[in-house]
């Protein structure tokens, strides 16, 4: 009669019956913001040509990607409501930090899977806004976010949320898989086995046939993949490319630096 699998998926992701009033508001906000989401390349810069690669012809774009941002939050171990949000900007070529700012805040909103943005985005947007207001010359041309973009139950994770509200190209990077559309860790293992060659980029295609992102083995030495997905105004291909080009270790350098510096500032504070 009816397909159990379809029903289960649809109910888990779209039902409002078992949501709190607060969460119903959040669902509406995510749905509304999602209408502004752009999942293709939409920016004026281009990637610096790789070494040993010829310049593409017809690329009449003069602006190179130079300023890549990264954002992350760290939490106090004593008081889990105290957090430090950090924004860093790196030179895309040298991976040197050219800008750093952070803010210690008290969070009143709990972490709920699927609603991470309502907890973490406000601090990070404020850090971005401060930079923009000052017309800072190092304002990022692309932002990497510690959290998913499209790889999210409703296709609108933290990276999309920040991207739309800041009107900035963003890439989502998850260190753990958020199970969506039949994509589980065991499913990812199956995809890896099925790859004809030992690919280090695995497309994450769910039961529905939709591509939610990609799992990549970002550096030799760590078997555990990271999960890349489109945030805003960036294609999946560009998202993967930029992450690969900024990975000195498992996590791309902009996010890693934001993580290190937010944690450091939290320790030195009290």
Q: Is 192 left (phi over 0), alpha (psi -120 to 50) or beta?
A: alpha
Residue 12 binds DNA, judged by CB under 7 A: yes
Contacts of residue 243, defined as CB under 8 A and 6 or more positions apart, other chains included, come to: 144, 171, 173, 216, 218, 226, 228, 252
How far apart (Å, rounded) are the C-alpha atoms in residues 69 and 204?
25
The correct pick among 32, 59, 80, 208 for binding DNA (CB under 7 A) is 80
Q: How far is the CB of 174 from DNA (least distance, A)?
A: 4
Choose the binding region for DNA from 31-39, 130-138, 145-153, 211-219 (rule: CB under 7 A).
Answer: 145-153
Residue 127 binds DNA, judged by CB under 7 A: no
Binding mask 40-79 for DNA (x = CB under 7 A): --------------------------------xxxx-x--
In terms of CB distance, is 131 or 160 closer to DNA? Answer: 160
How far apart (Å, rounded) are the C-alpha atoms in residues 209 and 181?
9
Total of chain residues touching DNA, rule CB under 7 A: 29
Contacts of residue 132, defined as CB under 8 A and 6 or more positions apart, other chains included, come to: 139
Nearest to 38 by CA among 174, 188, 163, 204: 163
Residue 185 binds DNA, judged by CB under 7 A: yes
Residue 250 binds DNA, judged by CB under 7 A: no
Residue 148 binds DNA, judged by CB under 7 A: yes
Residue 231 binds DNA, judged by CB under 7 A: no
Query: How many alpha carbons fall within 13 Å on the CB side of residue 133?
Result: 6
Q: How far is the CB of 73 from DNA (least distance, A)?
A: 6
Residue 82, judged by CB atoms within 10 A of its CB (0-12, 13-18, 19+), counts as: middle
Q: How far is the CB of 104 from DNA (least distance, A)?
A: 13
Question: Which two tokens mark 75?
Answer: 């939490």
Residue 147 binds DNA, judged by CB under 7 A: yes
The correct pick among 85, 157, 213, 225 for binding DNA (CB under 7 A) is 157
Q: How far is the CB of 220 from DNA (least distance, A)?
A: 9
In terms of CB distance, is 185 or 208 closer to DNA? Answer: 185
In terms of CB distance, is 178 or 233 closer to DNA? Answer: 178
Residue 217 binds DNA, judged by CB under 7 A: no
How far apart (Å, rounded) are the C-alpha atoms in residues 189 and 253?
26
Contact, 158 vs 116, CB < 8 A? yes
The correct pick among 192, 250, 263, 265 for binding DNA (CB under 7 A) is 263
What part of residues 99-118 is at the interface with DNA (CB under 7 A)? 111, 113-117
In terms of CB distance, is 64 or 112 closer to DNA? Answer: 112
Exposure letters 217-241 (e unless 16+ CB within 10 A, then b):
bbeeeeeebbbbbbbbbbebebbbb
Instruction: Write out the residues near DNA by the rule CB under 7 A.
Output: 12, 72-75, 77, 80, 111, 113-117, 146-148, 152, 157-159, 172, 174-179, 185, 263
């Amino acid at each position: 009669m009816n397909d159990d699998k379809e029903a289960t998926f649809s109910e888990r992701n779209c039902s409002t019956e078992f949501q709190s009033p607060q969460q119903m508001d959040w669902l509406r906000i995510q749905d509304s913001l999602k209408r502004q989401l752009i999942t293709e390349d939409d920016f004026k810069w281009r990637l610096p040509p790789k070494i040993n690669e010829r310049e593409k012809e017809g690329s009449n774009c003069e602006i190179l990607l130079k300023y890549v941002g990264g954002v992350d939050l760290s939490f106090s171990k004593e008081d889990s409501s105290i957090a430090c949000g950090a924004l860093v900007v790196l030179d895309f070529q040298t991976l040197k930090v050219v800008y750093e700012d952070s803010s210690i805040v008290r969070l009143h909103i709990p972490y709920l899977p699927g609603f991470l943005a309502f907890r973490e985005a406000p601090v990070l947007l404020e850090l971005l806004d401060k930079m923009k207001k000052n017309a800072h010359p190092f304002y990022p041309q692309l932002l990497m976010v510690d959290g998913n973009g499209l790889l999210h139950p409703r296709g609108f994770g933290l990276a999309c949320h920040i991207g739309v509200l800041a009107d900035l190209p963003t890439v989502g990077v998850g260190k753990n898989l958020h199970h969506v559309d039949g994509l589980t860790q065991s499913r990812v293992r199956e995809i890896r086995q099925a790859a004809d060659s030992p690919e280090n980029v695995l497309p994450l295609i769910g039961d529905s046939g939709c591509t939610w992102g990609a799992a990549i083995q970002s550096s030799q030495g760590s078997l555990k993949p990271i999960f890349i997905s489109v945030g805003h105004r960036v294609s999946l291909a560009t998202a993967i490319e930029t992450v690969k080009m900024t990975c000195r270790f498992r996590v791309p350098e902009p996010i890693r630096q934001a993580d290190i510096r937010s944690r450091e500032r939290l320790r030195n504070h009290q």
